[in-house]
Structures are given as C-alpha cells and as structure tokens.
Amino acid sequence: MRNRYIIMLAVAIMFVAGSALADITWSQIDTAVTDGDTLTVNQTLYVTPTRFAIVNDMGQKIIVDGTAGTVTVTDSTNASYFASTLQELEDLRKTVRAETEKILEDALIKLPADQREQYRAMLREKMDTAEKELSAVSSPAWEAFSDTGKTGTMLGKKVRCFSATDGGGEYSAWCTTDVETGELDSFFSTVESSTFFQNMQGQQLSLTRIGFPLKYVLKKPGEQFESVVTGIDRNTIPESVFEVPAGYSKQQVPGLNGDN
C-alpha cells in the first residue's frame, strides 16, 4: 500500500499541471484499494509559479522549490525533515538502477546463454514498468484521453468526463474549464531540466486543452485509485507553507547529501 501511496503523490503532482500563473490551493481525497486493502489520504496542495507543497493527514509535507531545484520532506510525527536536490534524486535513481542490474547479472551468470538473455530481458522489462509506475508515466498522456460526452457538476462547476485505456487500466478524468488555467505553467518551466519532471511535460501541456481535473479514477484488475478535489482557493499562500517548522531535526538519507 505504501507504493500505491507514492503513486498517489505522483498523481497529485500531475494535477499541478495547468494551473494559472497565480497562487492556487486545493484539497483532495485520495483513495486506493489494492487486493481488498483500502488506504484513504486527505491532502492539500499549494502551488505558486515557482513552488509547490503537498500536505497530507499522515503528518507529511513535501515541498518542491523549482527555482532552487530542491525537495524537502517533513514529518510531524517525529518532528524531522530531510532535504535534497532534484539532481541528487535523479543520481540516486540511476545508482539504484545500476546496482540492481549488477545484482541481476550476478544471479544470471550461471545460466546458459540463451536462458540468461531471456531472463535478463524479462527482468529489465519489470524494472522499467516499476519505474514508470512510480513516476506516474504508466498513465496515458493527457492527449490520449477522449471526451465521453458525459457531463455533470462538481464544486458548482461544470465538468466533462474524459477517458483512456492503457496497460490494462481504465482511466477517467472529470475536468472543468471553469478553473482558470494557463497555456504554460511557470512552475514546470523552472524544473524542466529535471528528469523527475520531464516525464510529466506532455501531460502538463495537454492538460490545459482538457481542463482542471476535479476527479480522477484508475481501475485495474485487483486495484482501484480515485482522487477527488473537495475545494479550491485562490488566496495568496502563506510563506510558512514552504518552510520547515522550527525545532525539526534534519535526517540523513543513505545515498543523498553525500551520505552513502
């Protein structure tokens, strides 16, 4: 379920795309059901042209500063935080991938050559699939969504339902054009050099042609994910939202900040 929660965060990041060049805050309820287990997370997302933060009811906050290229995660349950750069996260991803591939090669070395190549291809495919899931790339690009013709009202705003299928999953997004969106998103332009965000650029650019998603649903065999926006606010976001609370202790994460 923790992996599914990571994907929740990735989907939340996708929702940042298309916001206008002014501050915007919205709350949402994310629910994931996997093999009969249900996880529900309430989140609030804060977005400015250069920064965003995600705060959930599990005591965690993720802060991304696009201009500085940094990511900070705080945890109120133990008054701690860790900070990293987007480049460090990308370097860590590459290191983990390289180390995993070495372990696989060591394990395959005793197999006959033909079987070794077969298993190598299969395992690398599984690794690629796992990486895509964690970066939300497994979701179809927004231009792949088609208008179902279904309409409705959410939060007093008119919505249209768009759907897509990909990798055995069924996706639907209820979007509105009543929430102001811009053709280019300033925040994403500040982090465009980061591989972590490059994977979302196609979704970000095409989302403005669909609208702001007030409801997003993914259904796959044995699992379901739903995210529903429950409120939107256009007031200026307090600076404290993007700061680490006083008294929090900094934690080291192996592989980051030079800690190996």
- What single letter denotes the amino acid at residue 63? I
Per-residue pLDDT tens digits for 113-161? 778 888 878 877 777 766 655 544 456 777 789 999 999 999 999 999 9
Residue 97 three-state SS: helix
Per-residue pLDDT tens digits for 155-170? 999 999 999 998 778 9
Is residue 210 scored above 70 in pLDDT? yes
pTM of this prediction?
0.72
Token pair recorded at residue 68: 């500085």
Strand 249-250 and strand 80-85: pairing? parallel
Q: In angstroms, what CA-CA distances link 245 with 79, 80, 91, 93?
A: 8, 9, 28, 28
Instruction: Give domain limits for the chain.
Output: 2-250
Per-residue pLDDT tens digits for 222-242? 889 999 999 998 889 999 999
Q: For the chain, how big is the Rg over CA atoms in Å?
A: 20
Question: Which residues does 115 contact at the CB level (< 8 Å), separation at least 6?
Answer: none
Identify which has the larger pLDDT, 236 or 9.
236
pLDDT band at 247 (very low <50, low <70, confident <90, very high): very high
- What single letter denotes the amino acid at residue 243? E
Residue 40 three-state SS: strand
Identify which has the larger pLDDT, 158 or 220.
158
State in words which class domain 2-250 has.
Answer: mainly beta
pLDDT band at 38 (very low <50, low <70, confident <90, very high): very high
Q: In angstroms, what CA-CA distances link 1 with 6, 59, 86, 90, 249?
A: 9, 17, 25, 24, 27
User: Is 32:1 a contact under the CB 8 Å cutoff?
Assistant: yes
Residue 254 three-state SS: coil
Q: H helices of 109-200, where?
A: 113-134, 186-190, 195-198
